[in-house]
Amino acid sequence: MKSKIIYAVMVCLIVVLMWVGDEGRQPIVYTGFELQHSVGLVDSEKGLLIQEAVADAGVIARTPQYVMNKGSYTIRMQYIAEGEDTVVELWEQANKIAAWQVDPQVRKFSTDFTLSKDAKQLQVRVNYGGKGNLTVQTLEIAPHTLFYTDTYFCILIFLLINGLGYLYLWNKRFITQEKFLDYSIIMGVALLATSPMMQTYLYNGDDLCYHLARLEGLKDGILDGQIPVNIQPDGLRGNGYLNAMYPYLFLYIGAFLRICRVSLALSYKVIVFLANLGSAVCAYVAMKSMIKSRRSVILAVVLYTLMPYRFTNIFSRGDLGETLALVFWPLVIAGLYHVTMGDRKKWYYLVIGFSGALQSHILSAAFVAAVCVITALLYCGRILREHRYWEIGKAAGLSLLLNAWYLAPFLYYYFGENIAKDVLRWSGYFEQSINPSNLTQTLSLYNKQYFSLGLALFGCIGIGIIYLLYERRGRMSEQEGFLLYLLVLGAVLTFMITGYFPNRALMENGVFENIATMLQFPWRFLGPASTCFVFVGAIGLSQSEILKPYRNYVFALLVGLNLLVIVSVPADNNHMPYDNAQAVASKGHESKLITNIGMFYPHEWRLDGASDDKLTTSVVVSDMNYVTVRDYQKKGTKAAVAYTATASNCYIELPILSYHGYRAVDENGNAVQIGRGGGARMRFMVQGDGVEHRIYVRYGPVIGFVIANLVSALTIAGCVWYLVSRRKVMHRQSA
């Protein structure tokens, strides 16, 4: 009892310390010099001095752009102004939403403002009037409650982990010691893989800004009442952005955290951690289903979770979709093994693997499908002879039914909507080939085009060559034949990555060019190739008689080499939050509110013509002499506009991209036809009777999508019912 009391006190003390250190309550404070500025001098107190003789009127200082939760805030500024025309402005997504005049008779400015919805690019600007000198000493933004709830989320996770640990210590029968050790290794490897992100700033990968926009847009769609979310309602300055074209199932985790006011940065990091944990778990489950050696299972967990290509995707490329898809490749390999020659009852591994890849990254799902076809053709004789096509058919059918909810809108918009798809084919493919000398090296984030297998996976290749080609010499079991197939497949995929593969010559072939430009980068083959080598090395090490005396040494060597990946991820020590180093472990608000990253909506999946320069935030009319717009309101994917027109050959255009699935009615509930105007906006022909009319717009429901949702929901319910019923039967039989 004494030990329990001491433990409880320590837990409470840590919780209190976490709460005291909560940054979410602290204001954002800038000196004048720390604000973004292009003119001005620095005074002795780091204020920004604007002299009348040097600067013209206009915005002379601004904060970074913030992703900020809805709520009430206060802006404070200390200044010295000689002129009367200086204004503090509040901007959101390039729109000025508020402005306040600064009184030159005082030296402190303070005002409250309220955000009715979450802001994507909130910015405070100081607009200099052009007369007299102006000194901006400090600018501060303070929340009335919290900027974010990160600390409370971390406290909740800390208490949950302690609760689970206490449960294990209180009742060790709950889990065996062997499983507890395995699970601890899995968790430790996942934490190690995430450790570079435990610094509070984010590595600005190539695609990070897009995935942050997806995460924020998914949250907006949920709050709009869309489930599943097909339209990001506030994307593209409120015009809406198509969400259905990039898989997003696992982003729901981060989106629900955002709804709970967790910062966008931490929400993203939670998804990355879960991807690392999922990779370790899937490697563990897949390898354990194929071999009994714990050494091989643990080796596969370490090699796969810490393989260089995963780290390149996370930290250099910022490719969250492919990172999530890599979670499921081990289950795909194990599933293919079981449906061709292993335990045919484990065909569901293939369903989970393919569905996970499909719900993460479309191109990765295409790779999975291609590998499945190649494997089926190679083992077609065995499949037909042992009637294993039933398992393959069940896997394919169940995968289709489970994913119908996503496939229906994806295929509908891809083939039935006039969206920009050709912009995806910008890569020359062969130009992105990898120098073979780089394949043996560890990760480097300073070179964006750095892709590697790593020394550990080359060690796996060596194990495969020794075990399969030298030791067995054609006298192979079924499993060894499958490993040889994986070794050859991995080698071919690796060869296709290098410049020695005749990419340039093959690009003259129309079929190859079409496929290659869609894939964009040959290095995408590193993911499946690395997975193949992990299986070959981990299983080969446990089966090889030649390597038997050296297994422990080889195991330690491969694990040690893979740890170099973690060591090579640079620690950015230049991003200290404060000059006086008040919090050396944090970059403060600038990381959590994503001021150093921003958001980006790419040109693909937009309607043709919806370029940035044609986006508007207000209603467009064909002729202001005959059409008057009295009111326009938009919330999520719902909008309403009131107008009066005296001519019937005119139109109005709402600042909403006219994707299929939107519908409109007038004030009497009658359907109104939606046309497509400039910049792909919604266009409505007006009634020129001089009477005020209203048009109400909303998205969905689309009947085909609803049917697909029901199909997937019923399939999931059927699977749950089957598993519960089977568990009850097994329980009765064991009793």
Q: What is the pLDDT of residues 705-724, one digit of tens each?
A: 999 999 999 999 999 999 99
Higher pLDDT, 718 or 500: 718
Q: What is the mean pLDDT of residues 26-40?
A: 88
Judge whether 659 and 601 are in contact, CB under 8 Å.
Answer: no
Sheet of 627-635: strand order equals 627-635, 638-645, 693-699, 662-666
Q: 59 - beta bridge partners?
A: 127
Asked which of 245-249, 564-568, 669-673 is least confident by mean pLDDT, the reply is 564-568
Asked which of 216-225, 363-372, 492-501, 712-721 is least confident by mean pLDDT, the reply is 492-501
Q: E strand or H helix at 533, and its extent? A: helix 526-543
Give yes or no for a cis peptide into 655 (omega within 30° of 0): no
Residues in the chain: 735
Q: What is the pLDDT of residue 461?
A: 95
Judge whether 435 and 452 are in contact, CB under 8 Å.
Answer: no
Q: E strand or H helix at 242, and its extent? A: strand 241-242
SS3 for 277-306 is HHHHHHHHHHHHCCCCCHHHHHHHHHHHHC
Q: E strand or H helix at 191, and its extent? A: helix 177-194
Report the percentage of the chain scoring pLDDT > 90. Answer: 61
- Which pLDDT tens digit goes with each residue over 16-25? 999 988 888 8
Q: Is 623 helix (H, G, I), strand (E, B) or coil?
A: coil
Q: What is the pLDDT of residue 200?
A: 66
Q: What is the pLDDT of residue 583?
A: 43
Phi and psi angles of residue 188, each rounded to the nearest 5 degrees, phi first? -65, -40
Judge whether 239 and 610 are in contact, CB under 8 Å.
Answer: yes
Instruction: Give residue 457's region: left, alpha or beta (phi > 0; psi -120 to 50).
Output: alpha
Q: What is the mean pLDDT of residues 619-628?
A: 93
Judge whether 528 and 329 are in contact, CB under 8 Å.
Answer: yes
- Which pLDDT tens digit goes with each residue over 175-194? 778 888 899 999 999 999 99
Q: What is the pLDDT of residue 445?
A: 52
Q: E strand or H helix at 406, and its extent? A: helix 404-416
Q: What is the pLDDT of residue 52?
A: 82
Asked which of 57-71, 125-139, 212-226, 553-567 is least confident by mean pLDDT, the reply is 553-567
Q: What is the mean pLDDT of residues 682-688?
A: 93
Asked whether the predicted pLDDT for residue 410 surpasses 80, the reply is: yes
The CATH number assigned to the domain with range 612-700 reads: 2.60.40
Task: Report which DSSP code applies to 444.
Answer: -
- Which pLDDT tens digit goes with each residue over 144-186? 989 999 999 999 999 998 888 777 766 666 677 888 889 999 9
Closest CA to 63 of 92, 43, 83, 36: 36
C-alpha atoms less than 13 angstroms from C-alpha of 311 in its C-beta half-sphere: 32
Asked which of 326-330, 359-363, 503-507 is least confident by mean pLDDT, the reply is 503-507
The pairing of strands 231-232 and 58-62 is: unpaired
Q: E strand or H helix at 657, and its extent? A: strand 651-657
Asked whether the predicted pLDDT for residue 109 surpasses 70, the reply is: yes
Residue 573 binned pLDDT confidence (cut-offs 50, 70, 90):
very low
Q: What is the DSSP string of 335-364?
A: HHHHHHTS-GGGTHHHHHHHHHHHTT-HHH
Residue 574 binned pLDDT confidence (cut-offs 50, 70, 90):
very low
Judge whether 205 and 314 are in contact, CB under 8 Å.
Answer: yes
Residue 542 binned pLDDT confidence (cut-offs 50, 70, 90):
very high
Contacts of 687 (CB under 8 A, 6+ apart): 645, 648, 693
Q: Tell the CATH superfamily of the 26-143 domain.
A: Galactose-binding domain-like (2.60.120.260)
Contacts of 105 (CB under 8 A, 6+ apart): none
Domain regions of the chain by residue span: 1-22+151-175, 26-143, 198-568, 612-700
Alpha-carbon torsion angle 141, 146, 151, 156, nearest 10: -170
Judge whether 236 and 601 are in contact, CB under 8 Å.
Answer: yes
Residue 447 binned pLDDT confidence (cut-offs 50, 70, 90):
low
Give yes or no for a cis peptide into 228 (omega within 30° of 0): yes
Residue 282 CA to residue 294 CA, distance in Å, equals 15
- State the average pLDDT for the chain: 88
| Rg of the chain on CA atoms, in Å | 29
Residue 682 CA to residue 240 CA, distance in Å, equals 12
Asked whether the predicted pLDDT for residue 59 surpasses 50, the reply is: yes
Report the percentage of the chain scoring pLDDT > 70. Answer: 93
Closest CA to 453 of 539, 368, 534, 332: 534
- Which pLDDT tens digit goes with each residue over 349-374? 999 999 999 999 999 999 999 999 99
Residue 387 CA to residue 384 CA, distance in Å, equals 5
Segments in 26-98 forming alpha helices (H): none
Q: 242 - beta bridge partners?
A: 231
Q: What is the pLDDT of residue 397?
A: 95
Asked whether the predicted pLDDT for residue 537 surpasses 70, the reply is: yes
Q: What is the pLDDT of residue 172?
A: 63
Q: Is 602 helix (H, G, I), strand (E, B) or coil?
A: coil
Q: What is the mean pLDDT of residues 232-254?
A: 93
Neighbours of 726 (CB within 10 A): 10
Q: Give this prediction's pTM.
A: 0.92
Q: How far is CA 592 from CA 74, 391, 670, in A?
A: 19, 47, 47
Q: What is the pLDDT of residue 563?
A: 83
Residue 718 CA to residue 429 CA, distance in Å, equals 44
Encode burial over 660-698: b for 16+ CB neighbours within 10 A, e otherwise: bbbebeeeeeeebebebbebbbbbbebbeeeeebebebb
Residue 426 binned pLDDT confidence (cut-offs 50, 70, 90):
low
Judge whether 546 and 467 are in contact, CB under 8 Å.
Answer: yes
Judge whether 196 and 315 are in contact, CB under 8 Å.
Answer: yes
Q: What is the pLDDT of residue 444?
A: 57
Tokens 């409880």 locate to: 8
Cβ burial, residue 373 (10 Å; 0-12/13-18/19+): exposed
Segments in 548-621 forming alpha helices (H): 551-568, 589-592
